[in-house]
Structure 1
Amino acid sequence: MSDSFDLGEPPQPAKAEVYRVLARKYRPQTFAELIGQDAMVTTLGNAIKRGRLAHAFLLTGVRGVGKTSTARLIAKALNCIGPDGEGGPTIDPCGVCEPCRAIAEGRHIDVIEMDAASHTGVDDVREIIDASRYAAVSARYKIYIIDEVHMLSKNAFNALLKTLEEPPAHVKFLFATTEVNKVPVTVLSRCQRFDLRRISAEMLGAHFAAVAEAEGVEAEPEALALIARAAEGSARDGLSILDQAIAHAGIEGGGVKAAAVRDMLGLSDRGAVRALLGVLLTGDGLGALAALRRQYDLGVDPQAVMRALLEAVHATTLVKLGTVPEAGQAVEERQVQEEWAGNLSFAALHRLWQLLLKGHDEVARAALPIEACEMALLRVVHASTLPDPGELARQLAAGGPGPAVATAPTAPAPGSSVTAGSSLPETFVGLIGMLDDQGEAALAARLSHSASLVRYAPGELVLSSARPMPADFVRELTLELKRITGKQWRVSAEEVPGEPTLNEVKLAAAAAERAAILETPVVRAAFEAFPEAALESWTSEIRSNEA
């Protein structure tokens, strides 16, 4: 008798587990896991304990702060029956009873989720109204969760109003939106509103560290801090970035590194940003452009460079105010910021912020972003050489030196020439006065309004080429000076920062004087008595009369 063997069916390969992205895998399942929304959780907990539950809730906030997750948690809290089936509404749903598990899995028949972006019409709302008349099948409450509710049409909102104001006792409405300003006031007034806050970078960093640990992935604290800042208060956005960073680390090995995250996000290296800002503050235009191009060649977006510079200026201003250092901030970074804070006044920091902010907006709109970024940085370089208006006004008031107040020498009569033996103008202002007196008003005006002086000596004039000027301007000026003085002049342009133009100095002094006048007690009193008044002209006698 031969043995027989029942081989049965061949073994089947095990089904690969479908990967769930971190944003879904770590969606909060209890209010304790919902980070950054403690005030809302406290309010909801008190309302549930006292039985003061609203019939409609409106959850607002930026993307990824937990609006839909909160709506599902509220649905759980209201319908939880506890492990023994005898429980009531609670701020701590058990998560094991049938309603809790069905809601978590999105299959509860009495918890209806609707995306208003794809159900915008009045017919969709009518279906909700008709269905709301019937009692819940198996839950304590029939709950309607409408996401992005601001997408409903005007007619749909109007159709919902009556039911929303006086719904059946077994119905609760939970609305979520990122654009609460688009929700009609008539709807807002019928809902209990909760504004979910942006989650702080510190909280996000700690949350991402816990997720990385749960996933068995090593991550540098600086890398997690970069991801937290890039998330801009959104837990979902941050988890998506962390997911990408972990995948990148799987290829490169060694865990999630700050350098890899920086490359992945196209962020500018902080050390490179500090170097660039340092070059800008020294007024080195060529050095600034070279530093910018180095980052651009590495793939850093010009707008990201401007943003990083803005962050550096903001951080320096906070250091000057004496704020507590950022958690995890590098020692060398703090030292550089303290050095800048000591050397720069608040006025200079505010001016630098405004210039960079304007540049950031220009780069964002520009057809040629890198070129726009270069021009914005050159504007910052030029502004770094301008004097502080208040300090300039004090120098002028004290009779101190200044290019706009130098005394011009007596010039020859119009039409005559200054001989080689005659004394040449000792100052740049005197040179301009000589040109004006000799009938060269156009050249004099151009020098006053557009020329940035680098160096002047009788017979030699060096201007900054950072200020745009006509191609033949240097040649024309050289010929006119030779004709007027009878002597050969050396006129040239150099690629270095120059002094403010005479017109800029004059305007700065006038602005400083105007600001000082506005701060005098008599003028302040006048504006308080006549708010619509305007200061059209002023005189230093106003200040002297205060005595």
Structure 2
Amino acid sequence: MPVAAPPQAAATPPAAPAPAAATPYRVLARKYRPQNFDDLIGQEAMVRTLSNAFASGRIAQAYILTGVRGVGKTTTARILARALNYEPMEGGGGPSLDLSVLGKHCKDIIESRHVDVMEMDAASNTSINDIREIIDGSRYRPVMARYKVYIIDEVHMLSTAAFNGLLKTLEEPPEHVKFIFATTEIRKVPVTVLSRCQRFDLRRVEAGTLASHLSKICAKEDVTVDAEALSIVSRAAEGSVRDSLSLLDQAIAHGGGTVSGEEIRRLLGLADKARVIDLFDALMRGDMPRALGEFRDQYDAGADPAVILTDLAEFTHLVTRLKIVPSSAEDASLVEAERLRGKEMAEGLSMRVLSRTWQMLSKGITEVQQAAKPAQAAEMVLVRLAYASDLPTPDETLRKLKDMPTDGGSAPGPSSGGGAPPPGPVAMAAGGGGARLAIAARSEPMPQRAPQPAAVAGPQLRTFADVVALAVQKRDLLLKHALETNARLVHFEEGRIELAITEGGDPNLVQTLARKLLEWTSRRWLVSLSSKQGAATIAEVAQARREEREDGIRADPLVAAVLAHFPGAQITDVRTREDVAVEALAPMEETGADDGSDDDEGLSPFD
């Protein structure tokens, strides 16, 4: 029996499709994590070593990766596990570092869900029981892949028992097992483990390379960013790729898709580079009001006092580098103000001033970080820097002290006509307190003191011949002979001698002469060895003069007649009448008497 169809219901509009679930946001550090060795930046040495090893089949049983946080240790471990188990989709092949095309196991390894690639965090699995599971599992062959790979992150956190339990398996693992360790504290890993692993030290990424990498990521993310912002982020990361991406992610969110240097400085609490350079310039000029005003403006704008001093220390380091290596101005991470003004200040500041500034800032940063009121502590550090900028260096101070008279005479009385006090200890006091002491000394005469003997000045050495004469005076005949026969003078000035040593001469002559001059003159002389030819030695000059004089004598008719009359006769010595007179009078001058004594103390210093 046919059934009647029900009355047709009114047509209803089709239901709207359900909105697609929003894709959760992935931070830049995860989104742009390298997938193969070509994506790694700044680790060319490691990639080259692994490429050669894989090409020649010299694959180690264990690797250990070390470096600071964020340089890519765990990422490299996953890429290495992927390379060990790489197999094309069509099958075949072997371990390869060419991972441009995904293989059978690549996707699962990248997503950390491959059954034969096991990752373990040693910070939370530190006991021997956790290692025993690895040892037991290593006996069985891999399920799908070529190798069973164990990646142990932060391996230095394992206990001593866990390390000891791993040693045997690590030294002689089954042929299907590979170990990859990662650590930031390589010194905490036992040497017995290190000796069984192939070690790779992952370098900090240079600021210029990091800035270029961040620029490419900003282009992919369609983010507007200026060069100064990239420079600030890359240097703030201190070589860590992950830190730089985290800072960039935060800066993009802060700027709403636009990243500028000013926004980065405000975000990180940094001071403007141009203003830091202005502060440095004011300190080096000793302009304290301008320096304190500039510091207060930066502090009011939100800059941290310790960060301001750190920026000053970084600029001091930059100026020092530019002074030593001018080509470092081509660094891509430098902004234009640092490049131009840094070169200008490197030409105008001495190395001693820059070294002193660095030391004072290094100590001042610690003081500010520990101070209850950091701003006040930072201002006191700046005061010390500004007033130390025109202080004499230690050698200049010693030179001035040596030039001061040491006669401590009595102070002038009221009838002295208001003259300056003698250069005694009271009159040399500096500052306001010193001035008051000097006035008191003039109003109240000091008690009479016995006159102090004047300090005996050291020997004055104005030429190299004076140095040789001093060696004779000190009875150091070995040094005198060495200076006359083995030393070729290249340069001589007060406090500095540059010598070249003849072939076969004493190689320690330079050190010996410097030590003797310090002992004899109570001053430090810089005696250096030169690669230049230098002048003729004293012995060579004397020999040339002797030969010249002998040739002149041979030309004399009387001498020529004597030599002709006595065949075979030779001229063995040439002396003038003045030489004979000096030799005859020298003993009398030395002994102070003409008693005919033949004491060798009376020898002339020129014999």
Determine if the alignment matches structure 1 residue 379 to structure 2 residue 384: yes
Alignment partner for residue 318 of structure 1, among 288, 309, 321?
321
1:53 corresponding residue in structure 2: 59
- Which residue matches 2:521? 540
Q: Cα 1:368–1:525, aligned 2, differ >3 Å: closer, same or farther? A: farther
Per-residue deviation, 1:221: 1.2
1:108 equivalent in alignment to 2:111 = no
Shift of 1:3: 4.1
Q: 1:90-142 CA deviation, whole Å, 9 max, x = no partner?
A: 10125533310100111101110011111111111111111111111111111
Query: 2:154–2:182: 8 Å Cα contact kept in structure 1?
Result: yes
C-alpha root-mean-square deviation of aligned residues, in Å?
3.4
Query: Is the CA contact (8 Å cut-off) linking 1:45 and 1:91 kept in structure 2?
Result: yes
Instruction: Say whether the 8 Å CA contact 2:88–2:104 is kept in structure 1.
Output: no
SS in 2 for 1:17: coil
Partner of 2:277: 274
Q: Is the 8 A contact 2:208 2:333 kept in 1?
A: no
User: What is the CA–CA distance in structure 2 between the aligned matches of 1:528 and 1:172, rounded to whole Å?
Assistant: 57
Cα distance in 2 between the residues matched to 1:364 and 1:527: 48
- SS of the aligned residue for 2:193 comes to helix
Distance, in Å, in 2 between the alignment partners of 1:542 and 1:278 is 36
| Mapped pair 1:484 → 2:489 | no
Question: Is residue 2:404 matched to residue 1:423?
Answer: no
For structure 1, list consecutive stretches of 5 or more residues without a partner in the other structure.
Answer: 413-417, 437-443, 454-462, 464-468, 486-515
8 A contact 2:62–2:170 mirrored in 1? yes
CA contact (8 A) 1:209 1:224 kept: yes
Q: Is the 8 A contact 1:303 1:364 kept in 2?
A: yes
Determine the C-alpha separation between the residues in 1 that align with 2:524 and 2:220: 69
**CA spacing shift, 1:343–1:66, aligned 2, 3 Å:** same
* CA shift in 2, pair 1:331/1:162, >3 Å: closer
Equivalent runs, 1:249-264 vs 2, <5 Å = 249-250=255-256, 255-264=258-267
Q: Structure 1, residues 492-538: CA drift from partner, whole Å, max 9, x if none?
A: xxxxxxxxxxxxxxxxxxxxxxxx989999xx969978xxxx99x96
2:311 and 2:287 map into 1 onto residues whose CA distance is: 19
Q: CA deviation at 1:377?
A: 1.6
1:323 aligns to what SS in structure 2? helix
Residues 302, 363 of structure 1: 8 Å contact kept:
yes
| Structure 1 residue 210 corresponds to structure 2 residue 216 | yes
Contact 1:82 1:93 in 2 (8 A): no
Select the structure with the greater relative contact order (CA < 8 A; seq sep ≥ 6).
1
User: 2:343 aligns to what?
Assistant: 338
TM, length-normalised to structure 1: 0.77
The structural deviation recorded for 1:368 is 3.2
- Quote how far apart the aligned CAs of 1:296 are: 1.5
**TM-aligned CA deviation for residue 318 of structure 1:** 2.3
Q: CA deviation at 1:424?
A: 2.6
Report deviation, 1:366: 3.2
Contact 1:520–1:543 (8 Å) recurs in 2: no
TM-score (norm 2): 0.70
Change (3 A) 1:390 1:247: same
Q: Residue 388 in 1 paired to residue 371 in 2? A: no
Does the CA contact (< 8 Å) of 2:231 and 2:335 recur in 1? no
- Quick one: structure 1 residues 133 and 351, their matched pair in 2 at CA, closer, same or farther if it must change by over 3 Å? same
Match of 1:316, SS state, is helix
Matched, 1:245 2:251: yes
Aligned residues: 466
Q: Is the 8 A contact 2:65 2:200 kept in 1?
A: yes
Displacement after TM superposition at 1:481 (Å): 5.6
CA contact (8 A) 1:58 1:192 kept: yes
Aligned-partner Cα distance in 2 for 1:209–1:331: 18
Residue 38 (structure 1) aligned with residue 44 (structure 2): yes
1:295 CA displacement = 1.4
Identity across matched positions, percent: 48
Task: For residue 38 of structure 1, report the CA deviation from its aligned partner.
Answer: 1.0
Q: Given that residues 121 and 155 in structure 1 are in contact (C-alpha distance below 8 angstroms), is that contact kept between their aligned partners in structure 2?
A: yes
Shift of 1:288: 2.3
Identify the match of residue 92 of structure 1 among 98, 111, 114: 98
Distance across 2 between alignment mates of 1:300 and 1:379: 21
Q: Distance in 2 between matches of 1:278 and 1:405?
A: 37
Task: Rate the CA distance shift 1:39–1:76 in 2: closer, same or farther, 3 A.
Answer: same
In the alignment, what sits opposite 1:82? Answer: 88
Q: Name stretches of at least 5 consecutive residues in structure 2 with no aligned partner.
A: 1-6, 446-493, 500-506, 528-537, 539-607
Q: 1:283 aligns with which of 279, 283, 286?
A: 286
Whether the 8 Å contact between 1:409 and 1:426 is mirrored in structure 2 is: no
With 290-299 and 6-15 compared, the bigger mean Cα shift is at 6-15
